[in-house]
Amino acid sequence: MRVLVTGATGFVGTALVDHLAANPAHQVRCVVRRSSALTPDRVERVEIPEITGDTSWSRALAGTDVVVHLAAKVHDLRASGPESVGAYRAINTDGTLNLARQAASAGVKRFVFLSSVKVNGEEGQFNESDAPRPVDPYGVSKLEAEKGLREVAATSRMSTVVVRPPLVYGRGVKANFRALLRAVARGIPLPLGDIHNKRSLVALDNLVDFLTVCLEHPMAANETFFVSDGDDVSTTELLRRVGAAVGKPVRLIPVPPSLLMLAAALVAKRDAMHRLLGTLTVDISKARESLGWRPVVTMSEGLRRTVAGGIV
């Protein structure tokens, strides 16, 4: 099977390419922005400097059986207002649908699209039948891409698969999750000892395995799936598990969530605190029942591998 992976040098893409290339049944072609980008020697590279609604994909798609589209404009805290909507849409919507239409014309059999739980919203308990309610430009652009992909599938012989993960963690994780790992490793006291929410997460190894299943499973065609570790935890419990993975006791101070929100509002961090305190879970029953998929690592093992990858 010849697989084209966009976003191949990113957090998820690097792990997916390594996983696919280890299987002799896969011929992997990576889309990179620069010819100097580091990729495994055993995979082919195609340079695509930017992804827009006008990008030509003919060379990348030649002979391709399956496209896994990971490349996207992710959260830009500096972007706001109407301009930011257009910036997300240009890459995540127009760029995705341009690639999908060209893929269908080139005879690609399947298009696997990495979307996001943010299509559904920022808080709640979701399954695939729930109506999407994105609240930011990123989620809106991903939802518009999903809708467009369904139209492409309906008018071509190419099937599409949409995968909506929650927060992904693993070797090389960045941003807020990495900051939490560092805080626990350094023994910094955290005022998160009395949080009773529920959060779904997905280990990088579990996401990569699920994407691989979606490459050719017949029951995945033209479907949307949530994926997670299948082990929802409170923020307090997550930090305890992080402490176990780091090998240090986590120093948690019980502070009422209402006081935390008040303090966060005073320093303009209300949204970030809301993500720590709110509930966001996904139901992976469909993935289990339709595809026979099960997480390949537990959350504890996923955290251990994350820490082993380095958090400095």
- What crossing angle do the helices spanning 299-308 and 175-185 adopt, rounded to 10°? 80
Q: How far apart are CA 36 and CA 44, in angstroms?
A: 13
Contact 185, 130 (CB under 8 A): no
**Among all residues, which ones are annotated catalytic?**
138
Pure H helices in the chain? 11-21, 58-61, 82-88, 96-105, 137-154, 175-185, 204-214, 235-246, 257-266, 270-277, 285-291, 299-308
Q: Which residues contact 96 (CB under 8 A, 6 or more apart)?
A: 69, 72, 113, 145, 148, 149
| Count of alpha carbons within 13 angstroms of residue 173, beta-carbon side | 25
Distance CA 70, CA 14 (A): 11
Question: Distance between CA atoms of 22 and 20, rounded to whole angstroms?
Answer: 5
Helix (H, G, I), strand (E, B) or coil at 203: strand
**Which residues lie across from 202 on neighbouring strands?**
168
**In whole angstroms, how far apart are CA 126 and each of 10, 116, 199, 213?**
27, 12, 11, 22
